Amino acid sequence: MVTTSSKAKIPSGFSYPVGTAQLDAAFGDVPNVENMEVWYSASVSPDVWPYQPINLFTQLKRGGPCPILACRYSVLQIPSAAMVKGTRMTPTWSISVRPVPSPLRSIAKTMLARDAFPILRDWMMTARTPTWLEQSHRLNFSFDWTEQALMLSEEQR
């Protein structure tokens, strides 16, 4: 079962396209999902949207693609003191959900379930090499409201 870590309040007229129940139904049997955190947020950081650290609502008003879902595999840096003691920090998985204008919630929810969830599920379940597991990765889904299209990008850090 996925765990909601944070759910930001959003202005009237906006909705989160999916809830924890839908995420749990889609990814409930993914290994280590009980350790996965879900974050509901309206902020768009440089981590999610390189070169445009702006508020999501500002971007929605401008038009064009907006991030609505991201999954991250994060490898935390181990302090040298921890290495000496022989302790290791466990890599984590997290999902970030961004709000959409309420009239578009239904189409966003449908497209995420139909198009994004199968891709994300495969990405999370793929056997990985030790080299892949040593770095942080993110799979981003953005929605272009003008084109009514879901866009995918992958980052490695």
Domain ranges of the chain: 3-128+136-156
- Give residue-wise pLDDT tens across range 62-117: 666 788 999 998 887 555 555 555 555 677 888 999 988 888 899 999 999 999 99
Bridge partners of residue 93, in order along the sequence: 73
Please say if the pLDDT value at position 118 is more than 70. Answer: yes
Q: Return d(Cα 126, Cα 118) in angstroms, integer.
A: 12
pLDDT for position 48 = 45
Q: Are strands 65-74 and 137-144 parallel, antiparallel or unpaired?
A: antiparallel
pLDDT for position 121 = 93
Q: Are strands 65-74 and 14-15 parallel, antiparallel or unpaired?
A: unpaired
* Alpha helix (H) residue ranges in 20-156: 20-27, 56-62, 80-85, 105-111, 117-125, 130-133
Q: Mean of the per-residue pLDDT values for the chain?
A: 79
State both tokens at 38: 């879900």
pLDDT for position 112 = 96
Q: Return d(Cα 138, Cα 47) in angstroms, integer.
A: 9
Verdict on whether the full-model pTM lies above 0.85: no
